[in-house]
Chains A and B, each alone.
Chain A
Amino acid sequence: MDFDFSDDQVQLGDAVRKWVDKAYTFERRRAAEKAGGFDRAAWNELAELGLCGLYVPEDDGGLGMGPVEGMVVMEELGRGVVLEPLAQSLMASGVIAGYADAATKAAWLPKIASGEALVVLAYQERAARYQLDVCDAKATQAPGGYVINATKSVVPVGDQADAFIVPARINSQLALFLVERQSAGVSTRGYGMQDGSRAAEVSLKNAPATLITQDGLTALEHAVDIGIAATCAEAVGVMDKTMAITAEYLNTRKQFGVVISSFQALRHRAADMKMQLELARSMSYYASLKLNAPAPERRAAMARAKYQLGQSMRFVGQQAVQLHGGIGVTDEYIVSHYFKKLTQMEMTFGDSLHHLGEVSSRMQDTAGVFA
C-alpha cells in the first residue's frame, strides 16, 4: 500500500509540466486548433521527451515504462489541455507490444517511439456506440495478408495518422489489424472536434492490412482499457487545473464590494468540486494500478473508474463555468476550453451511463478495491 511517486516518476512529471508551461501555451494551442487541431511539431516535441515510447520496450527504442508513469504523464498533459493524442501512442504500442508478431513489432514500435509513426485506434462504428464487440468491418484473406472493407468514424487525427489499429471480422471472428493510411483503398475526411482536437472518418475499400492478432476482442479491450486509464489520468490533470483557475477567479473577482469567494454558496460549490476531484484522483490511481491485472478484474476496475471520472468531469466542468459567470461561457477565456475537453473525455471510451451498465452487470456479492 503505497501511493507515493518515486523520484524518477516525480522527475518525469516535472519534465512534462515544464514542457507544457513553457512550450504549450494557450496561444499555441489556439493556433493549433485554428490550423486543424493537430500540430505535428508539438507531437515531435512529445516524442523528443520520450513520451511516445513510454510503453515501448527499451529493446525497441522506447522507455519501457508502466501504467504509473503513463498516469503521471497524462495528468500533466491534461493540465495543459494538450490537443495531441498521446493516449493513442500508449494504446497502439501497448497492443503491438502485447499481441503482434516479432516482425510487426520490429517494424512499428521503434517508429512509434521516435514519433515518426503516429498510430491510432480506428474502432468506432456507427452501430457500436461504446460497445467493443459490435463490428461490421470485414477482413478477407488476400495474397500477402488481408484486405479490409470498413467505415470507421471519429478516428483521432485520422487524416494525418500514419497507420490505424483496426478491428475487423474474419468470418465471425473479431481480429485486430494494422492498416497504413497511405495504402491503396484508404480514404479519409478530417474535421475538428468540440474540444479543438482533430478526427476523421476513415473508409477502407479492400485496403491491405497486417494481422496483429486473431484474438481481436481481447486485444481491443486491452487497448481501450489503456485508453481509459490514460483518459482518467488526463482528466484529473484537466480538473486539477480547472479547480485552480476557478479558485483564483473566486478569490479575485469582486461583486457587491467583496471578493466572491466570501459567499458561502460559492465556497460550498468549490468544496463539492474538490470532492469530485479527489474521488476522481482516487479512481484514476485505481485504474492505473489495475491496468496490469487479469482481464476480468481489469475490465471491472476500468468501468468503475470511468464511471466515477465521468461524474466528476461533468460536475467540475459545469460548475467551473457556472462559478465564472459570463466570462465562463466565452471562447476568449480558458475555462470554457477545459470544460469542453472534460465533456469530450466523458464521452470517450464509454460515457457514465455506459460504464454504469458495465458495473451493474458485473456486480458480485462483495465489492471493494480488492474485489
Chain B
Amino acid sequence: MDLAFTPEEQQFREDIRAWVGANLPADIAHKVHNALHLTRDDMQRWAKILGKKGWLGHAWPKEFGGPGWNSVQKHLFEEECALAGAPRVVPFGPVMVAPVIMAFGNPEQQKRFLPGIASGDVWWSQGYSEPGSGSDLASVKCRAERQGNTFVVNGQKTWTTLGQYGEWIFCLVRTSTEGKPQTGISFLLIDMKSPGVTVRPIVLLDGEAEVNEVFFDNVVVPAENLIGEENKGWTYAKHLLSHERTNIADVNRAKRELERLKRIAKAEGVYDDVRFRDEIAKLEVDVVALEMMVLRVLAAEKSGKNSLDIAGLLKIRGSEIQQRYSELMMLAAGPFALPLIREAMEAGWQGDAAAGALGGFPGGSVANAPLASTYFNMRKTTIYGGSNEVQRNIVAQTVLS
C-alpha cells in the first residue's frame, strides 16, 4: 500500500501542468473559474487545442491514435485540466461513442468517424433518452426499419445535451419488438443534417437551453452506419454507460469548486461564521473521501489485481457533492445570489453604464451573478446518467445478492 504517486507519475503531472498552463486560453479559464457562460466556440477552441496535441481522446489506446495512458495517468491529466480551469471535454464524441466504435465498429467505420472525433472537428450528440424512457433505457421506442441498404428512423429523443450544436448523433433505436426489450435495440450513427431531423431546445429551470428534443421523421440512414450487429445495441450501450459512470464522479472539478466556495465565503463574510464554516468543512471531508474512493478505483484498475464493487457509489456521491457545493455557494451570497441578470453571467460585463453608481451587480460582487443559476442547473446531476435512485438499486444488488 502506498498513497504517493511514483516519481514518474509526479513528473507526468508536472509535464501536463506545464502544457495546460501554456495552452489553455486565459479567457476560457477565467470563465470556468467564475462559472461564466461558455459558448460553443469556447468549448470547440479547447477541444481542438487538445485534439491537435492528440489528447482530446486522452483515454484512447495507442492503436487508435490516443496516448495510451493508464488509469492513473488519465486521472492526473483530468485533474490538471480541471484545476487549471479547462472546460469539461464535451464527452459525447471522445468519451462515449468513440470507445463503442473502437470496440464494436468495423474498420471502415473506425477510419471514417474516429479522426473527426479525435481532432474535435465534429460535434457529437447522444440519442439515448426518450420521453417515455428515462432511467429505464431498455424501453426505447424510436423505431428504425430496415429498407434495403438503409434504415428509416421515426421517433423522438430527448434530454440531448448541447444537441443544438450537434453534427452527428449516436442513437439507440428499436429494430425489433420481439423478445425482451433489451434484445431489439440497435446502435445507429445518424447525420443530424439528414432530412427529417428536427432539433428543438428545451429551456431548463436556469433559463438556459442546455438540452434538446430531437425528432426523427422518416430519416433515411445508410445501413453502413449501424454499429455491430442489428439488435445487439444494448450490449454496446452498456459498454458506453460504464465509461460514463467513472467519469461522472468529477472529483477534480469538486476540488476546484471547493476552492471557489471558500473564496466566495470569504468575500461574503461567512467564512469565519462557525455555522457556515463547518458546512464547508463537512464538504471538504466529503471531497477528500470521494477522492480516496476514486483513487482506490484507479489503483485497482491499474494493478488489475482486484476489481472493486464501488464504481456505482462514485456517481451517487459525486453528484451529491456537486449539488452541495453549488448550494453552499448560493447560500454564502445570500440575498445577493438572487438577482437574475443574465448579462452579468457573461465574461467582461461592466455593469449597466446608464444606471451609473447603481449599475453594478447588486451588492457589488459580480462573482455572485451565476450562483443561483448554477445551483438550479446542478439539480440535474442526481437525475442524469441513471438517476441516483436507480444507482442505489444497482448498489443494493451488489450488497444483497
Binding site for B on A (CB under 8 A): 1-6, 9, 68, 243, 247, 250-251, 261, 264, 267-268, 270-275, 278-279, 282-283, 285-286, 288-290, 304, 307-308, 356-357, 359-360, 363, 365-369
- Tell me if B258 counts as interface (CB < 8 A to partner A): yes
A356 touches B393 (CB 8 A): no
User: Nearest Cβ distance between residue A357 and chain B, in whole angstroms?
Assistant: 7
Identify B277's interface contact among A278, A285, A363, CB under 8 A.
A363
| Chain A contact residues: helix, strand, loop or mixed | helix
Per the bound structure, the CA–CA distance linking A264 and B395 in Å amounts to: 12
Per the bound structure, the CA–CA distance linking A1 and B3 in Å amounts to: 5
Chain A residues, CB < 8 A from B290: 279
B400 touches A366 (CB 8 A): no
A360 touches B274 (CB 8 A): yes
Chain B residues, CB < 8 A from A4: 1, 299-300, 303, 305-306
Closest 6 CB pairs of A and B: A282-B292, A267-B396, A360-B281, A271-B395, A271-B392, A289-B3
B310 touches A278 (CB 8 A): yes
A267 touches B400 (CB 8 A): yes
Closest residue of chain A to B255 (Cβ to Cβ) is A368
User: Nearest Cβ distance between residue A51 and chain B, in whole angstroms?
Assistant: 19
Closest residue of chain B to A274 (Cβ to Cβ) is B399
Q: List 19 A-B contacts (CB under 8 A).
A: A1-B299, A2-B1, A4-B303, A9-B1, A247-B399, A268-B396, A275-B395, A278-B313, A279-B289, A283-B285, A283-B292, A285-B3, A356-B281, A356-B282, A356-B285, A359-B285, A367-B284, A369-B291, A369-B295
User: Nearest Cβ distance between residue A204 and chain B, in whole angstroms?
Assistant: 37
Closest residue of chain B to A72 (Cβ to Cβ) is B1
Number of A-B contacts (CB under 8 A): 139
A365 touches B259 (CB 8 A): yes
A357 touches B299 (CB 8 A): no
| Given A4-B306, A286-B3: A308 touches B277 (CB 8 Å cut-off) | no
B316 touches A275 (CB 8 A): yes
Identify B399's interface contact among A68, A271, A286, A304, CB under 8 A.
A271
Q: Write out, one digit per residue, whether chain B residues 382-401 have a CB within 8 A of any chain A CB (1) or not (0).
A: 00000001011101101110
Question: B residues 247-302 with Cβ under 8 Å of A?
Answer: 255, 258-259, 262-263, 274, 277-278, 280-282, 284-285, 287-293, 295-296, 298-300, 302
Closest residue of chain A to B277 (Cβ to Cβ) is A360
- Tell me if B9 counts as interface (CB < 8 A to partner A): yes
User: Nearest Cβ distance between residue A226 and chain B, in whole angstroms?
Assistant: 17
Chain A residues, CB < 8 A from B285: 283, 304, 307-308, 356, 359
Per the bound structure, the CA–CA distance linking A289 and B3 in Å amounts to: 6
A289 touches B1 (CB 8 A): yes
User: Nearest Cβ distance between residue B303 and chain A, in whole angstroms?
Assistant: 6
Per the bound structure, the CA–CA distance linking A5 and B305 in Å amounts to: 10
Per the bound structure, the CA–CA distance linking A331 and B263 in Å amounts to: 51
Closest residue of chain A to B312 (Cβ to Cβ) is A271
Instruction: Name the residue among B5, B289, B296 with the largest chain A CB count within 10 angstroms.
Output: B289
Chain B residues, CB < 8 A from A274: 313, 395-396, 398-399
- Tell me if B2 counts as interface (CB < 8 A to partner A): yes
User: Nearest Cβ distance between residue A230 and chain B, in whole angstroms?
Assistant: 16
Per the bound structure, the CA–CA distance linking A5 and B389 in Å amounts to: 33
Chain A residues, CB < 8 A from B31: none
- Tell me if B32 counts as interface (CB < 8 A to partner A): no
A1 touches B313 (CB 8 A): no
| Given A304-B285, A367-B288: A285 touches B1 (CB 8 Å cut-off) | yes
Per the bound structure, the CA–CA distance linking A225 and B263 in Å amounts to: 31
Identify A251's interface contact among B281, B282, B293, B400, CB under 8 A.
B400
Per the bound structure, the CA–CA distance linking A68 and B3 in Å amounts to: 11
Identify B284's interface contact among A261, A264, A304, CB under 8 A.
A304
B255 touches A3 (CB 8 A): no
B280 touches A2 (CB 8 A): no
Chain A residues, CB < 8 A from B6: 1
A282 touches B296 (CB 8 A): yes
Per the bound structure, the CA–CA distance linking A289 and B396 in Å amounts to: 30
17 new A-B contacts at CB < 8 Å, known A268-B396, A368-B288? A1-B3, A5-B1, A247-B399, A251-B400, A268-B389, A273-B399, A275-B313, A289-B3, A307-B285, A357-B278, A359-B281, A359-B284, A363-B262, A363-B277, A363-B284, A367-B288, A368-B291
Per the bound structure, the CA–CA distance linking A4 and B296 in Å amounts to: 9
A368 touches B287 (CB 8 A): yes
Chain B residues, CB < 8 A from A267: 392-393, 396, 400
B396 touches A363 (CB 8 A): no
- Tell me if B355 counts as interface (CB < 8 A to partner A): no
Identify A278's interface contact among B259, B293, B298, B306, CB under 8 A.
B293
Per the bound structure, the CA–CA distance linking A366 and B255 in Å amounts to: 8
Chain A residues, CB < 8 A from B305: 4
| Given A268-B392, A279-B289, A307-B285: A367 touches B255 (CB 8 Å cut-off) | yes
Chain B residues, CB < 8 A from A68: 1
User: Nearest Cβ distance between residue A238 and chain B, in whole angstroms?
Assistant: 17
